[in-house]
Amino acid sequence: GLIERTPDLYLHELQEQLRDLCNVEVSLLTIWRALRHRGFTRKQVSRLYV
């Protein structure tokens, strides 16, 4: 699936993909709950300042 191909997607990017590819509107909270229910975890993305 989409998450396996691009595991570094942000929730809002996944939301856009669902809207564009599947023509469905889903809230960010609903997406997060579905992912968490399936065992996905959250990672923080940090910025590197040079």
Please give the Cα distance from 44 to 25 (Å, whole number): 25
Summarised one tens digit per residue, pLDDT across range 1-50 is 888 888 888 999 999 999 999 999 999 999 999 988 988 887 755 555 44
Residue 21 in any domain: the answer is yes
Residue 19 in any domain: the answer is yes
Task: At 10, list the tokens.
Answer: 């942000």
Residue 45 in any domain: the answer is no
Q: Which amino acid is at 31?
A: I
Q: HSE, CB side, 13 Å, CA atoms: give it for residue 29.
A: 0
pTM metric for this prediction: 0.74
- Structural contact between residues 36 and 15, judged by C-beta atoms closer than 8 angstroms: no
Residue 43 in any domain: the answer is no
Residue 46 in any domain: the answer is no
Q: Tell me how many helices (H) and strands (E) the chain has.
A: 3, 0
Residue 25 in any domain: the answer is yes
Q: How many domains are contained in the chain?
A: 1
Residue 7 in any domain: the answer is yes
pLDDT for position 40:
85
